Amino acid sequence: MTTMTTLLAQLDALKAARRSGLRSIEYEGRRVEYRSDDEMQAAIASIQAEIAAEGGTSRPTVAVVRSSKGF
């Protein structure tokens, strides 16, 4: 299981790499290369969701209900 400190460090490393235009990061002896900015953003969102879950908070969920009479 990943600790909060590790998650925050990974998030900081990803954000710093993305801001500088790099597509790869090295963390704890591992090198990860991302193919696109969208892939990096998805990784950032995933880590942020893990942090929120560990901290007892989560992103708000929105449900949209639509109905019709079938005509």
**Strands 30-33 and 24-27, bridge-based pairing:** antiparallel
In degrees rounded to 5, what are phi and psi of residue 25?
-135, 155
Query: Which segments of 1-71 are extended strands (E)?
Result: 24-27, 30-33
The number of beta carbons lying within 10 Å of the beta carbon of residue 34 is 18
pTM: predicted TM-score of the whole model, two decimal places:
0.70
Q: pLDDT of the chain along its 71 residues, tens only?
A: 578 888 899 999 999 999 999 898 887 788 989 999 999 999 999 999 998 888 766 566 777 888 787 76
